[in-house]
Amino acid sequence: QEVTVEVLAHLEHLALVDFRDAEGVERLRKAIRFADLLQVVNTEGVEPMDSVLEDRCLYLREDDVTEGNCTKELMKNAREKVEEYFVAPPGNIPLLKLEEQETFLQGS
């Protein structure tokens, strides 16, 4: 399957991953080739699973803070924040415009 500019833009938006270099585009192409191989796997009669560990009981642990109280220090790393929360990309990852992506893909 060919990686079009539209597919690239959609994946960047969904995954918040930057595919601006040839290595990133090649990694994406390999992932697509691998996913295409999975299409031929015969899953007839195989029931969907809720978890890969269906035969085990998963126990929740207490969320005990053992050291820290360093919220202010950690928040200094945030490029953008709202109250005491990091603002996640795409707001802080500049993505290429479609025309720029088209030019880049043609060169790879």
From the list 19, 15, 31, 28, the residue with the least C-alpha distance to 104 is 19
Write down the domain spans for the chain.
Answer: 1-43
Model pLDDT, residue 94: 57
Residue 97 or residue 63, greater confidence: 63
pLDDT computed for residue 101 by the predictor: 62
Q: Which helix (H) or strand (E) holds 86?
A: strand 85-86
In this prediction, residue 21 carries a pLDDT of: 75
Mean per-residue pLDDT, 77-105:
68
- Going by C-alpha positions, the residue among 4, 24, 5, 19 that lies closest to residue 99 is 5
pLDDT at res. 98: 59
- Tell me: the pLDDT tens digits for 17-70? 677 777 777 877 888 888 888 888 898 998 877 776 767 777 778 878 788 888
Report the percent of the chain where pLDDT is more than 70: 73
Q: Which of 71, 66, 89, 69 is nearest to 79 (CA)?
A: 89
